[in-house]
Amino acid sequence: MPQPITDLPPGYTEVEHLVVTDEKRLLWLNVLALIPLVISTAAMLGWWVLILRLRDGRPGELVWWAGLLIVLAVLPLHEGLHAAAIRWAGHKPRFGAKLDKGVLYATADGALFRRAEFIVIALAPIVVITLVGMVLMVVLPDWPAFWVGIAVIVNASSAIGDLWMVAVVRRYAGDALVRDEADGIRIFTPSPQALR
């Protein structure tokens, strides 16, 4: 694993600053969250139907409040997976919340991530929670499995900010660096003069 970067290398300049919690952008991201909500609902519904056809029915009851706890547990788990990926990249994560915006976050103060590292960090929660959730839906009794499926859907739709930032970061070359901030990201690339 390459050494973590904390200081901007010579010749790099900021080319984009994205603020996810900007009021207008947050509104549009919430509207766009319908896309992963619909996709994940269709996928989990199809997965659930397949599971129910394959199993001969295992009884299991789960009261609604326990199901709600499973769904709510996905929010800190999501940020914990971001933090684990930040550690993987060699930085120290910090957790926080912007309750007025309804946002939890994990970040690394002063850290710069290589483009590929940032993409792994941003996508870790949606990939891990979806795959683990799908496995849990197979092995758990019906009602807990149902609520795990709901948690996967909630996680997918709440990951819209991560998905959007990945889409933006992917527009830049592999040598781009990303500084993750509590409310967004800054993208740096080598300036044209530095490439000569």
For the chain, domain boundaries: 12-195
User: Cβ distance 141 to 52 under 8 Å?
Assistant: no
Residue of 95, 88, 94, 90 lying closest to 120 (CA atoms):
88
Whole-angstrom Cα Rg for the chain: 19
In 3D, which of 61, 38, 26 has the Cα closest to residue 147?
Answer: 61
- Residue by residue, pLDDT tens for the chain (196 residues) are 679 999 999 999 999 999 887 888 878 888 888 889 899 999 998 998 888 888 765 555 556 677 778 878 898 999 999 999 999 999 999 998 888 777 788 999 999 999 999 999 999 999 999 999 999 999 988 888 888 999 999 999 989 989 999 999 999 999 999 999 888 899 999 987 544 3
What span, in angstroms and rounded, lies between the C-alpha atoms of 152 and 131? Answer: 9
Model confidence, pTM:
0.86
